[in-house]
Structure 1
Amino acid sequence: LKFAMNYAVVNKNVFGSDVEVTGNPEKAVLDMKRCRNLEAALEFAEKGMPITKEQHCSGCIDGYFRRVAENLGFTLNVAFADKGCTMTVSK
């Protein structure tokens, strides 16, 4: 739960994302209802930057968060949505 809470605080306070965390010490669900990082990437795409939603989200999840979770001994499962994703972190 602490891993999910820390990520939620950073994304809400630093980037302005709309996030909610539920769960317990064994399993936490981080619901990224509106990911401002994704929105910013897609705004750049509209201006010609060669990036897609799939590329951005893959870089975020597979390139960073899954690796961090695994290094801390957690499992990370992700369900993608139009404006964000839902991450389930478990021991």
Structure 2
Amino acid sequence: NPPYVAYESFEDVDYGVKAFEPLQAIFHEDPIMVFQDILEYAASHLLSKGRVVLEIDSYLEKDLKILASSMGFSCNIMKDLSQFDRICIMSRSS
């Protein structure tokens, strides 16, 4: 997983995550930029029926769907076990 939480959301993240995960693995100044870099790579390397599966922070859902669409991908969001929007499955738009 790439870093998927903005630094500005640090206080909102569960203590267990902050205490036991490397912060650089969770936080980034601009997570959407990280996802954009991944999609740019995927656009030229992903097979036609391939998928990109990413863990996301639920507040990014709308922006990530806009980004994916602008880059020719669809983005389906799945909930985690706590019923938070957490997984984004992206594929090439038909």
Task: Pick the TM interval, shorter chain.
Answer: 0.3 to 0.5
Q: Select the structure that is richer in strand.
A: 1
What is the TM-score of this pair, normalised by structure 1?
0.43
**So what's the TM-score if we normalise by structure 2?**
0.42
